[in-house]
Amino acid sequence: MSAEMNSLEINANVISTAESHATEEPSASKVDTSAEGDALDAKASPSRFSNIEFTLPAKQARDAWRAVAAVNDHFCLTLSESCVRFSATNDQCLDLRCTIDPSLKPQLGSIQLSFDVETKGLAALGVIDFEGDVTFKFPDIDLSVGSTGPFNLTIADAFTVNWDYLLTSAAPALAQPHDDKTSECLEEGRLIDPRVLRALINGLRNFAAEENVTGSDFTAMRVEGGSIRAGTHGAACEIESAVIGDISFSIEKNVGRSVGTILGLLAPERTTLCVNGGFQKLSDGRLTLCLRQGGHVPKFPMLSEPFVRIHSDGFVFDEALTRIRAQIKNQKQTDQALVELLLSPNDKTLTFATAVNGGLARVKASIRAEADVVEPTSLKFFHYLLEKLDVSIQTGVEISLSPNGAMFIQKRGGESCDNEGHRTVISTRREKKPSDATLVRDPADK
Binding footprint of other proteins on the chain (CB under 8 A)? 120-121, 123-124, 126-128, 150, 155, 158-164, 320, 322-324, 326-327, 329-332, 356-365
Do 138 and 151 form a contact (C-beta atoms < 8 A)? yes
Q: How far apart are CA 102 and CA 85, in angstroms?
A: 10
Report the run of H or E that residue 262 belongs to, with start and end: helix 256-265
Residues in the chain: 446
User: Which are the contacts of 293, defined by CB distance < 8 A and separation ≥ 6?
Assistant: 250, 251, 275, 278, 279, 280
DSSP 8-class letter at 180: T
**For other proteins, the closer CB: 54 or 151:** 151
One-letter-per-residue 3-state SS of 17-58: CHHHHHHCCCCCCEEECCCCCCCCCCCCCCCEEEEEEEEEEH
Q: How far is the CB of 160 from other proteins (least distance, A)?
A: 4
Closest CA to 338 of 347, 327, 348, 346: 327
Q: How does DSSP assign 372-423, residue by residue?
A: S----EEEEEEHHHHTT----SSS-EEEEEETTEEEEEEEE--SSSS-EEEE
**For other proteins, the closer CB: 42 or 326:** 326
Is residue 216 helix, strand or coil? coil
Greatest alpha-carbon pair distance for the chain in Å reads: 100
Q: How far is the CB of 159 from other proteins (least distance, A)?
A: 4
Q: How far is the CB of 443 from other proteins (least distance, A)?
A: 9
User: Which are the contacts of 369, defined by CB distance < 8 A and separation ≥ 6?
Assistant: 308, 309, 310, 311, 343, 345, 348
Mark 186-204 as b/e (b = at least 16 C-beta within 10 Å).
eeebeebbbebbbbbbebb
**For other proteins, the closer CB: 42 or 123:** 123
Q: How far is the CB of 327 from other proteins (least distance, A)?
A: 5
Q: How far is the CB of 164 from other proteins (least distance, A)?
A: 7
Q: How far apart are CA 307 and CA 411, in angstroms?
A: 22
∠ CA 427-428-431, rounded to 5°: 135
Q: How far is the CB of 135 from other proteins (least distance, A)?
A: 13
**For other proteins, the closer CB: 109 or 121:** 121
Amino acid at 394: Q
Q: How far is the CB of 139 from other proteins (least distance, A)?
A: 12
Q: How far is the CB of 70 from other proteins (least distance, A)?
A: 16
**For other proteins, the closer CB: 307 or 384:** 384
**For other proteins, the closer CB: 74 or 323:** 323
**For other proteins, the closer CB: 44 or 156:** 156
Q: How far apart are CA 173 and CA 182, in angstroms?
A: 19
Q: How far is the CB of 354 from other proteins (least distance, A)?
A: 9
Is residue 105 helix, strand or coil? coil
**For other proteins, the closer CB: 12 or 153:** 153
**For other proteins, the closer CB: 123 or 174:** 123
Q: How far is the CB of 407 from other proteins (least distance, A)?
A: 24
**For other proteins, the closer CB: 289 or 310:** 310
